[in-house]
């Protein structure tokens, strides 16, 4: 069993547990104990803080993924990589904070009318961003050391347990909403502190300004790469948050709260890819270092096939149970039904596109990823400006879907033309047909008034029709062999191909 399999299985378990807690917190608890306006604020604050942090890190997380293999030497304390990374991150945070304070009048003007609570809690974002900055830095450092489970557990599970506790205190009326925000910020600092303790425990805390010839040779490409990736990562952050921010500005926080809640449900589609991505990112960087194009191509093909299978199953579970899902939350959220469909399709396309983004950004042609990101950000903003006034939150979802489809198509073509790689095979076509066919059957099943029975019945039918077909026709050795390991059924096992996980 290879490192990708061992780590990705652990990460998948952790991330799914975290997703379950996230659904409990944001879909069930927040929507039922807070007003839609309060939900909007508590969802937007961390989103803005992450965006703030992505600029403040000055591209160090991406630099770590790309260049840390060249510095990796514990005996030489990794040539001072941790120390110099911290210097850049701290400088970036100071610069970002100065700009954040200077631009407050302009930003406040956008939200003062429709979402004044954002203005009231404006300066709280500085503390929240500080915790996020160092969590991102520590996590990227550990990810480069291939230590991904603990930071993922903290980010995906432990932090959400703390949020559950906070919401419970609010629901019991032991704290008010203002205190809820303050405690939430404190929980973020606790997470970051634990990650630092973990680095010290691993004896990887090398906080000295080491001198090395490596910097003379790599400083220029590091700075160049960092300058491009910071814009790319910032663009990615803008993309994720721009729709909810524009909804808060042009509509109100209540609508933003509804949209961000539905967005979270749709994001559940990407959970498997996120777990594999955390491992494949540094691995693709190592493949490029060794100029092993075949390894990159094989990983690209197999990851895309696996993600298409898993993504198809998840989108069927979400679409097939949409009526039951909306019965778990207040009726006012039902206005986002069509937004839900559009966002799920957008996430499915982004997931199925595979490793095209990672392949591009870890290659010598990484600059082009920035160009694609700029196209995406501009297109997303323009489409939101057009569609939100016309269709409200459904317009924001439509803008997100169109933008992500165009973006992934551009990156897919780029990798195909420049690296002679494209991941789609005839098996992908058959999987898509099975997905559409299964949806056609489930869509016409009668809805039972008991949401629990309906949820179980629809899920069972999807499991039998979709996953049964996938396993029976053996489209993917990876999926079949993993199913064999869990079930022990010998007819599932495939020995013809080496697994992507080995």
pLDDT the model gives residue 65: 66
**DSSP designation for 154:** I
Confidence of residue 288 (pLDDT cuts 50, 70, 90): confident
What's the pTM value of the predicted model, to 2 decimals? 0.80
For residue 142, is it within any domain? yes
pLDDT the model gives residue 499: 43
Confirm if 350 and 267 have CB atoms less than 8 A apart: no
The separation between the first and the last C-alpha atoms of the chain, rounded to the nearest angstrom, is 6
Count how many domains the chain has: 1
Instruction: Take residue 381 and report the two structure tokens written for it.
Output: 């903003």
pLDDT at residue 384 tops 60: yes
Three-state DSSP state, 244:
helix
Residue 487 or residue 40, greater confidence? 40
**299 closest CA partner among 498, 445, 112:** 498
For residue 497, is it within any domain? no
Residue with tokens 């920035």: 370
pLDDT tens track for 210-246: 666 666 666 676 677 767 777 767 777 777 778 888 9
Q: How far apart, in whole angstroms, are the C-alpha atoms of residue 331 and residue 244?
A: 20
Q: How far apart, in whole angstroms, are the C-alpha atoms of residue 79 and residue 212?
A: 6
pLDDT at residue 427 tops 70: yes
Query: Chain-wide mean pLDDT for the chain?
Result: 82
For residue 78, is it within any domain? yes
For residue 498, is it within any domain? no
pLDDT the model gives residue 500: 44
CA atoms within 13 A on the CB side of 497: 15
For residue 499, is it within any domain? no
For residue 502, is it within any domain? no
CA atoms within 13 A on the CB side of 182: 5
For residue 293, is it within any domain? yes
Confidence of residue 401 (pLDDT cuts 50, 70, 90): very high
pLDDT the model gives residue 2: 46
pLDDT tens track for 306-338: 888 988 999 999 998 888 888 888 888 889 999
Q: How far apart, in whole angstroms, are the C-alpha atoms of residue 295 and residue 502?
A: 11
Give ∠ CA 281-304-352 in degrees, rounded to 5: 100
What is the torsional sign of CA 368, 370, 376, 381?
negative
* Structural domain range at position 204: 3-492
Confirm if 387 and 399 have CB atoms less than 8 A apart: yes
For residue 180, is it within any domain? yes
User: Cβ-count burial of 375 within 10 angstroms (0-12 exposed, 13-18 middle, 19+ buried)?
Assistant: middle
Cα–Cα distances (Å) from 194 to 165, 181, 375, 494, in that order, read: 18, 20, 38, 42
């Amino acid at each position: 069993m290879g490192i990708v399999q061992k780590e990705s299985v652990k990460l998948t378990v952790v991330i799914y547990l975290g997703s379950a807690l996230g659904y409990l917190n944001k879909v069930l608890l927040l929507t039922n104990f807070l007003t839609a306006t309060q939900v909007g604020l508590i969802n937007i604050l961390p989103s803005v803080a992450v965006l703030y942090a992505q600029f403040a890190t000055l591209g160090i997380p991406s630099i770590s993924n790309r260049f840390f293999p060249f510095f990796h030497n514990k005996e030489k304390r990794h040539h001072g990589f941790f120390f110099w990374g911290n210097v850049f991150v701290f400088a970036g945070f100071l610069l970002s904070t100065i700009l954040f304070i200077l631009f407050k009048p302009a930003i406040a003007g956008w939200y003062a009318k429709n979402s004044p609570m954002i203005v009231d809690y404006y300066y709280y974002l500085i503390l929240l961003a500080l915790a996020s900055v160092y969590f991102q830095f520590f996590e990227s450092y550990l990810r480069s050391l291939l230590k991904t489970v603990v930071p993922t557990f903290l980010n995906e599970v432990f932090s959400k347990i703390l949020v559950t506790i906070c919401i419970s205190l609010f629901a019991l009326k032991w704290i008010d909403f203002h205190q809820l925000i303050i405690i939430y910020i404190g929980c973020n600092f606790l997470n970051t502190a634990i990650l630092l303790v973990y680095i010290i425990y691993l004896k990887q805390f090398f906080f000295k300004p080491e001198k090395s010839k490596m910097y003379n040779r790599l400083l220029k490409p590091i700075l160049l790469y960092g300058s491009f990736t910071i814009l790319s990562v910032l663009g990615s952050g803008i993309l994720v948050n721009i729709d909810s921010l524009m909804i808060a500005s042009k509509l109100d926080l209540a609508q933003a709260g509804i949209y961000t809640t539905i967005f979270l449900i749709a994001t559940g589609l990407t959970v498997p890819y996120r777990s594999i991505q955390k491992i494949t990112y540094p691995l693709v960087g190592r493949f490029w270092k060794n100029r092993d194009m075949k390894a990159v191509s094989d990983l690209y093909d197999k990851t895309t096939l696996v993600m298409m299978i898993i993504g198809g199953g998840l989108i069927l579970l979400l679409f097939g149970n949409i009526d039951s899902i909306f019965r778990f939350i207040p009726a006012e959220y039902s206005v986002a039904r069509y937004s839900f469909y559009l966002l799920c399709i957008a996430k499915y396309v982004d997931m199925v596109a595979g490793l095209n983004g990672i392949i591009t950004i870890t290659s010598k042609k990484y600059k082009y990823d920035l160009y694609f990101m700029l196209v995406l950000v501009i297109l997303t903003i323009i489409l939101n400006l057009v569609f939100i006034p016309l269709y409200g939150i459904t317009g924001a979802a439509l803008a997100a879907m169109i933008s992500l489809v165009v973006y992934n198509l551009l990156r897919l073509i780029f990798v195909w033309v420049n690296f002679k790689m494209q991941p789609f095979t005839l098996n992908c076509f058959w999987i898509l047909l099975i997905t559409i066919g299964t949806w056609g059957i489930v869509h016409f099943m009668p809805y039972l008034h008991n949401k629990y029975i309906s949820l179980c019945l629809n899920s069972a039918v999807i499991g039998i029709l979709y996953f049964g077909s996938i396993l029976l026709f053996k489209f993917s050795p990876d999926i079949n062999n993993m199913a064999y390991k869990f079930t022990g059924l010998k007819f599932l096992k495939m020995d013809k191909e080496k697994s992507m996980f080995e």
